[in-house]
Amino acid sequence: MKSRLLLVLALCVAGTLAPRTSLAGASRPNIVVMLIDDMGVMDTSLPFLPGANGQPVRHPLNEFYRTPNMERLAARGIRFNQFCAMSVCSPTRISIMTGQNAARHRTTNWINPDKDNAGPQGAVDWNWRGVQPGAVTLPALLGKAGYRTIHVGKGHFGPRQEPGSDPSKIGFDVNVGGASIGQPGSYYGTKNYGNAIGGKGGGSGVPGLEKYHGTETFLTDALTLEANAHMEAAVKESRPFFLYLAHYAVHSPFNADPRFADHYKDSGKPAAAQAFATLIEGMDKSLGDVLDQLEKLGVAQDTLFFFLGDNGSDAPLGAEHGVACAAPLRGKKATHYEGGMRVPFIAAWAKPDPSNPLQKRLPITQGAVQGQLAAVYDLFPTALAAARVQSPAEHVIDGRALDPLLTGVRDPQRDEMFLMHFPHAHRSSYFTAFRHGEWKVVYHYLPTEKSGGGHYQLFHLASDPYEQKDLASEKPAELRRMMQELTAGLESQNAAYPRDAEGKVLKPLVP
């Protein structure tokens, strides 16, 4: 009797320490974030942009791309048609890691691996060194709670000489492929993914994939194989896992994925655009392979899945500020228009099961569409809440957990605002864009820069979703109100500002 009692006590203690229990299934969800580089909201066969009734409407670009697994995931969960990211990659990635707007964490530009790339009049006090060890990050917090934290793919959290260039220094247990680089030297295994061959080249090679060098394995597939293997290892250890699968696709170089090239050869699109489409289809196959692996491992019902892009599209179609690669939206990656900041976002349980206790705690409506504004920094509090992990009280979080939005209803407590601060030179240079409800204002710090017209642009997105009519001169009261909110937002987040030709700090001017 005594030995039996000791056995029962031992099993109870083990149950309190282990992340999973044998009878009740998972006590905490697995969490997968699948982040696609340079994938905008129109780079998919799954429609996102709403029509007059708020439901998604198909456009010509939806007919060009093939993403059946995005459609599969959306049927299992909810897609957001007003989901915003920073307009270049590193700011978004660090916002996901920290739950903070880029204006606050101050990595407001993409990180050059070797130097400060603020731009000739860029903010001198921006955070070009990226995430530092000891920072409060999503993987670090989940890791302390017992999660196996897995990074596969693109990092771009810090330059080459900084610790943050290695994701294992900022909270990940595993790092495959993550480094300071923002794009691969090549997608081809036969070219060692850009690593040196015969002692030549290799400055932008993807690390950690040597087993695939010299093979026909496309980079997207190699990363997927690694992600699936590490998920399997975590399941064998009976540990919940956090997988951050950040594909280098669909960033340039536009190396055609030969598995899908025939699908686009008669499209009439330029060769680079056809290659881009093969990268899209390749990442979609990866999504399907990951979903299949979760089901094979028997953990799909316990896995919370987030799929998104890191900034607007960079598809090689049309002008930077026109209606082309994100049509009918205007603009592309690194611009202040919606085509530069709107990204696809899908949240789902990998295998919906209404009886699952985890899914009861965080219900997600299957096949639903959410039209309320949300942003990339909302993933941080959403994931932590799902895992029942708290962030330190002193860590400022700009994001807000996405429930109850995940059920398709509106959250009346949510402020429908998004601030995108870019005090640097790029396609759209030295600007801050601010959305609040139906209105959007853009402030250009240098009035002669190429992408603006004067200091201000004002758009009413409800009546002009494609930003064709600038109302700055016609609506002075709205312009003033929006600019007051924009400047207050920047100040509250302690933003860094660009400089004039003499080095003087430039702050927004309220008209």
Report the first-to-last Cα separation within the chain, whole angstroms.
82
Residue with tokens 């995005």: 70
Measure the CA–CA gap between 504 and 499, rounded to whole angstroms: 5
Strand partners, 26: 20
Q: Which CATH class is domain 417-492?
A: alpha beta
Angle ∠(301,305,307) on CA atoms, nearest 5: 155
Asked if residues 82 and 371 have their Cβ atoms less than 8 Å apart, the reply is yes
Which contacts (CB < 8 Å, 24+ apart) does range 386-391 have?
A: 386/29, 386/31, 386/304, 386/358, 386/361, 386/362, 387/28, 387/29, 387/31, 387/142, 387/145, 387/147, 387/240, 388/28, 388/145, 389/141, 389/142, 389/144, 389/145, 391/99, 391/136, 391/141
| Token pair belonging to 197 | 């061959």
Which among 243, 107, 251, 250 is positioned nearest to 175, based on CA atoms? Answer: 243
Residues listed for the chain: 511
CATH of domain 24-407: 3.40.720.10
Structure tokens at 409: 């209803």
Residue 439: predicted pLDDT: 98
What are the distances in angstroms from CA 326 to CA 18, 74, 85, 179? 47, 20, 15, 29
- Determine the Cα–Cα distance for residues 376 and 136; give it in Å rounded to an integer: 17
pLDDT value of residue 52: 82
What is the Cα–Cα distance from 335 to 88, expressed in whole angstroms?
Answer: 9
Vertex 272: Cα angle to 266 and 274 (nearest 5): 30
pLDDT in tens, the chain (511 residues): 333 333 333 333 333 333 333 223 478 999 999 999 999 999 999 999 998 888 899 999 999 999 999 999 999 999 999 999 999 999 999 999 999 999 999 999 999 999 999 999 999 999 999 999 999 999 999 999 999 999 999 999 999 999 999 999 999 999 999 999 999 999 999 999 999 887 666 689 999 999 999 999 999 999 999 999 999 999 999 999 999 999 999 999 999 999 999 999 999 999 999 999 999 999 999 999 999 999 999 999 999 999 999 999 999 999 888 899 999 999 999 999 999 999 999 999 999 999 999 999 999 999 999 999 999 999 999 999 999 999 999 999 999 999 999 999 999 999 999 999 999 998 889 999 999 999 999 999 987 555 444 699 999 999 999 999 999 999 999 999 999 999 999 999 999 999 998 999 999 999 9
Is residue 317 within 8 A of residue 272, CB to CB? The reply is: no
User: Are the folds of 24-407 and 417-492 the same?
Assistant: no
What element of type H or E holds 345? strand 345-349
Can you give the residue ranges of every domain in the chain? Answer: 24-407, 417-492
What φ, ψ does residue 470 adopt, rounded to 5°?
A: -80, 120
Pairing of strands 20-21, 25-26: antiparallel
pLDDT of residue 200: 67
Burial class, 146, CB count within 10 angstroms (exposed 0-12 / middle 13-18 / buried 19+): middle
Q: What is the pLDDT of residue 5?
A: 37
Question: Would you give the DSSP letter of residue 312?
Answer: S
* Partners of residue 499 on adjacent β-strands: 505
The closest of 287, 195, 190 to 243, measured between CA atoms, is 287
Question: 431: helix, coil or strand?
Answer: strand
In whole angstroms, what is the distance from residue 114 CA to residue 91 CA? 17
Q: How far apart, in whole angstroms, are the C-alpha atoms of residue 273 and residue 269?
A: 6
User: With contact defined as beta carbons under 8 Å apart, do 399 and 411 qualify?
Assistant: no
Helix (H) or strand (E) holding 284: helix 271-296
- Does residue 496 sit in helix, strand or coil? coil
**Contact at 8 Å (CB) between 497 and 505?**
yes
Contacts of 95 (CB under 8 A, 6+ apart): 85, 86, 101, 102, 105, 375, 376, 377, 380, 399
Among 33, 493, 10, residue whose Cα is nearest residue 308? 33
Q: Which of 220, 339, 210 is nearest to 276 (CA)?
A: 220
Q: What would the two tokens of residue 129 be?
A: 């060194």
pLDDT recorded at residue 454: 63
